[in-house]
Amino acid sequence: MGTHFPMTRPINDTLLRALLRQPTDTTPVWIMRQAGRYLPEYNQTRARAGSFLALCRNPNLATEVTLQPLARFPLDAAILFSDILVLPDAMGLGLYFVEGEGPKFERPLREEWEIRDLSAPDPDNHLRYVLDAVAQIRRALDNQVPLIGFSGSPFTLACYMIEGEASRDFRWVKSMLYGRPDLLHRILEVNTQAVTRYLRAQIESGAQAIMLFDTWGGILSSPAYREFSLAYMQRVLQELPREWDGHIVPRIVFTKGGGLWLEAIADCGCDAVGVDWTVELDSAKQRIGHRVALQGNLDPGVLLSNPDTVVREVARTLAAFGPGHGHVFNLGHGITQWTPPENVAALVSAVHRESRRYHNPG
């Protein structure tokens, strides 16, 4: 068979095993935004690239920064270095970053004709640089640890596409949701097709697990969450291949602020549910741990303290999940740029050391 990658599992496959609730000796750990501004070597590479977007668009440099946190810490996974907003950028919205203000779009969706004109991009063409980065990162990893691919959820992408930037009140999204739900559904239809094609292309290029980031699902009412966010993530997962190259491709769904809806999320076709720090892992495990794995959930703020405190909070988080498999250690949201790297070193070694006791049989 002329497959691109050998049908081997990574040497360290604890992440893939934990996501499928299979036995492991330790709890695997990776960190949302593990490649980023808290690392001086990241800031250097970004300066060489010229900007964050130039870094995302250069597969060599994207590979370099993807590997940087793995060179420092014995993490159990790599995550593609990119951004969720490169997908709407490929849809023609014109992504740019203003220093200190975060992402913005030149052409947010405001007019009905703009929404009617929207269409899902062909990733092989418009997102070639991401797929090239995925393939190159896989080669560079040489099966040491698995590579996670990702996308924003259809709803979270729609939030940025409609608001044109990060928002506090989501004024445009909410007025469309209640005033013209047909238009929001139209955007979500297109996004669902776009996300599905994009994730499938990442899998075909070498991503071994995938994650949906639903950063803004938590701003919705319970019925609106089901209708405008969860239903579309479920459709994405239905359409994705379950296996690639002879291996299951596990799926993680993370709705920030989704603690109220864990049962519904666990039913959407995912293998693992990401939880933020407002949820207790013992109760989350009781509610959905018999069906899916859990990923999380240390408050990123803990990493602003000191190594002793980090170790204590890691031990507390592991104890909350307790004995048994199916826990992937992570933060409850992305690491902040103010994190001292030595606190990350303390976190990773504490997870590996302190988690052994929970995996011993008997």
Please give the residue ranges that form the binding site for ligand CP3 (CB under 6 A).
32-37, 46, 52, 79, 81-85, 102-103, 150, 166, 213, 215, 334
Q: What is the DSSP letter of 319?
A: H
3-state secondary structure of 223: helix
Task: Kindly calculate the radius of gyration of the chain based on its CA atoms and give it in whole angstroms.
Answer: 19
For residues 107 and 291, which CB has a smaller minimum distance to ligand CP3 in the complex?
Answer: 107
The answer to whether 171 is a known catalytic residue is no
Catalytic residue, chosen from 46, 107, 291, 353, is 46
Residue 293 tokens read as 């794995």
- Give the residue at shortest CB distance from ligand CP3: 215
> Letter for the amino acid at 208?
Q
Q: How far apart are CA 131 and CA 116, in angstroms?
A: 28
Give min distance, CB of 158 to ligand CP3, in A.
Answer: 12
Place of tokens 């209640």: 178
The answer to whether 33 is a known catalytic residue is yes
3-state secondary structure of 346: helix
Give min distance, CB of 103 to ligand CP3, in A.
Answer: 5
The answer to whether 271 is a known catalytic residue is no
Q: How far apart are CA 163 and CA 251, in angstroms?
A: 28
For residues 85 and 318, which CB has a smaller minimum distance to ligand CP3 in the complex?
Answer: 85
Q: How far apart are CA 69 and CA 67, in angstroms?
A: 6
Catalytic residue, chosen from 160, 198, 225, 232, is 160
Tally Cβ neighbours within 10 Å of residue 179. Answer: 10
Q: How far apart are CA 77 and CA 60, in angstroms?
A: 19
Give min distance, CB of 240 to ligand CP3, in A.
Answer: 18
The answer to whether 160 is a known catalytic residue is yes
For residues 52 and 172, which CB has a smaller minimum distance to ligand CP3 in the complex?
Answer: 52
Give min distance, CB of 254 to ligand CP3, in A.
Answer: 8
Catalytic residue, chosen from 9, 37, 72, 353, is 37
Q: How far apart are CA 294 and CA 325, in angstroms?
A: 10
The answer to whether 96 is a known catalytic residue is no
Q: Report whether 216 contacts 254 (CB < 8 A).
A: no
For residues 307 and 334, which CB has a smaller minimum distance to ligand CP3 in the complex?
Answer: 334
Q: How far apart are CA 185 and CA 180, in angstroms?
A: 9
Catalytic residue, chosen from 33, 57, 138, 197, is 33
Q: Give the orientation angle of helix 154-163 with respect to helix 231-239, to 10 degrees.
A: 120
Give min distance, CB of 97 to ligand CP3, in A.
Answer: 6
Residue 331 tokens read as 């933060």
For residues 38 and 261, which CB has a smaller minimum distance to ligand CP3 in the complex?
Answer: 38
Give min distance, CB of 66 to ligand CP3, in A.
Answer: 8
User: Which residues have a catalytic role annotated?
Assistant: 33, 37, 46, 83, 160
